[in-house]
Amino acid sequence: MKSAIHGLIMKAVHENQLFFPQVNSDAYADKLLNKATIFYEELDRKAIAFIAFYDNDESKQTAFLSLVYISPEARRRGIGAKLIEKAIHHLKAKKINVFRLEVHRENLAAIQLYQSVGFKETSCKEQMMEMEYNLLNREKS
């Protein structure tokens, strides 16, 4: 399945060049596959969506969402929210306190998705918005 996720990462970077300027998609895919936690969804035994986040520094009790991608044919079905909620459940089990991300201010679909699951804007710097989800102040699921 690693090769299928690698392909989805490459597709995500290619489709979103505005949000990934000057990113080496192959190196980025390798980094995510080797260092991030990744959950994915399949349809007809084909990977159609994934979430990649870093949760490997438990001393900081903070995780960082790197990328959520849903194939065009699978969008608007709640898959993105489902993946984020799965990640949140995983982070709560690991006793992580905060889930952070950065998103391009023009990526309105992503911002809407993040807000719909409970992320709040914390700051804006140039073209990027920082958001976070405080796991400590949420009901246990």
102-113, pLDDT tens digit by residue?
Answer: 999 999 999 999
94-134, pLDDT tens digit by residue?
Answer: 999 999 999 999 999 999 999 999 999 999 988 899 999 99
pTM of the prediction? 0.89
| Domain assignment of residue 58, given as a range | 2-137
21-57, pLDDT tens digit by residue?
Answer: 677 888 889 999 999 999 999 988 899 999 999 998 7
Structural domains of the chain, count: 1
The CATH number assigned to the domain holding 115 equals 3.40.630.30
What distance in Å separates the CA atoms of residue 83 and residue 139, rounded to the nearest whole number? 18
